[in-house]
Structure 1
Amino acid sequence: MARAIPLATGTADAQAVTGACTLVGFSARETGGTNSADVTFRDGTDASGAIKAIARLVANGSQAGPLPPVDFATGIFIDRSGTGSSELVLYLL
């Protein structure tokens, strides 16, 4: 069974998980209501890690769904960009 890891609303990059893990899904929404937000899932502890997945959120929009298992070797770093804010929940094995 997957476990949920919530990430608070914001515009700043964030370390979501430290250490090896497998991402099997996510839900995300843009919370500012007027601007888009991009969320890049990187393997590592900073914005230089390898890109494993990307979500583009339109203003006041959302995305959710399962993924094929995506392995992260050193952790999941959330690299946020755009002018909107995002709120996420990651689902890990």
Structure 2
Amino acid sequence: MKGNLTDMGIGIVTGGLSGVAFWSAVLPLDVAKTIIQTAPDKSSTRNPFAVLNSIYSRAGLKGCYTGFGPTILRAFPANAAAIVSWELALKMLGINRD
């Protein structure tokens, strides 16, 4: 039983940290995507890099990471649960990855 709890703890930490790392890398593109999707003027640029350049010019790096706190608060538990669920499903199906 102790080994299962250790495996679950490792899954929680690695899954959570991988989610944080992922969103730290792609959040600026997600911010640009959101701006493109919600733009009232449909003729505005649809180039995410042009949108990011505009954000960076106006608000700096901080503007590119708008919503970082809530995203990270969601990313850690969601990805931790996904990894633990995946590992549990493999065990329940009898799939050995060693």
TM-score scaled by structure 1? 0.21
TM-score normalised per structure 2: 0.20
Please identify which structure carries the higher helix content.
2
Query: Which is higher, the Rg of structure 1 or of structure 2?
Result: 2
